[in-house]
């Protein structure tokens, strides 16, 4: 009998340890391992190279090869699609795209199992600025990682001061300006990526009407838009949608 109770106690302790690890330690790690930011400042050597290239007649003999900055991220993960940065937030992450929208929910940039996942593009998107509607997803993490800081856009003051953000693909630094912010249920209508005839124009109108703030950011059917999506716990099975239009010059 004593042996039976002893085994029951040990089993209970083991279950408590497993619960603690997955719900406290793993699920809310305060450290997130990501590559060094792609948005680095130009160095003095870079400036000298550019100056030399601008003032020197390029021939086959003196042609300079400058490796694309994105190449090092492709070396780490061929699923790399770009880098997302929102000023004054923790959102400064590489973006990947998987074969579906499930894999990177549980794997980090290095393809290691990780409850925080990584920021990923909808698998239906082509990337490189070719899509009418690009969608980026990220977990809402309690201690500020991934897309937790998106909920700061529920403050109109924060939105007015941070209405623009950068998503750089491997060849172009792209700037986006927010035109709609709204929490909602997990409505698939907000993540459409293919449109026919005037559907895209109607889609934009819908997103504007859903916004909890009245924003005067101009956006038309000729523009490309990008949506950031994370969880929102103010709504049952809720999501927070941040919609922005590309304004790259």
**Active-site amino acid positions:** 139, 231
3 state DSSP class of 225: strand
Q: Which long-range contacts (CB under 8 A, 24 or more apart) does 234-239 make?
A: 234/183, 235/183, 235/184, 235/185, 236/185, 237/185, 237/186, 238/183, 238/184, 238/185, 238/186, 239/183, 239/184, 239/185, 239/186, 239/187, 239/190
Q: Are strands 133-137 and 225-232 parallel, antiparallel or unpaired?
A: parallel
């Amino acid at each position: 009998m004593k042996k039976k109770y002893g085994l029951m106690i040990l089993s209970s302790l083991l279950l408590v340890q497993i619960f603690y690890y997955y719900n406290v330690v793993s699920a809310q790690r305060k450290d997130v391992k990501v590559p060094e930011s792609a948005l680095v400042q130009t160095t003095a050597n870079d400036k000298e190279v550019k100056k030399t290239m601008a003032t020197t007649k390029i021939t086959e003999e003196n042609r300079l090869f400058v490796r694309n900055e994105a190449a090092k991220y492709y070396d780490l993960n061929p699923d790399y699609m770009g880098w997302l940065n929102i000023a004054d937030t923790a959102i400064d992450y590489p973006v990947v795209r998987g074969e579906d929208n499930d894999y990177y929910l549980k794997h980090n940039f290095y393809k290691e199992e990780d409850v925080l996942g990584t920021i990923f593009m909808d698998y239906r998107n082509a990337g490189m600025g070719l899509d009418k509607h690009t969608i980026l997803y990220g977990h809402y993490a309690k201690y500020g990682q991934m897309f937790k800081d998106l909920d700061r856009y529920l403050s109109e003051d924060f939105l007015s001061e941070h209405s623009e953000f950068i998503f750089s693909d491997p060849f172009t630094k792209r700037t986006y300006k927010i035109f709609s912010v709204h929490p909602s249920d997990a409505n698939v209508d907000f993540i459409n990526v293919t449109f026919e005839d005037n559907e895209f124009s109607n889609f934009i109108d819908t997103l504007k009407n859903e916004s909890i703030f009245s924003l005067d950011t101009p956006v038309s059917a000729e523009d490309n838009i990008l949506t950031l999506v994370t969880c929102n716990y103010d709504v049952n099975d809720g999501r927070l949608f941040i919609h922005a239009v590309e304004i790259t010059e």
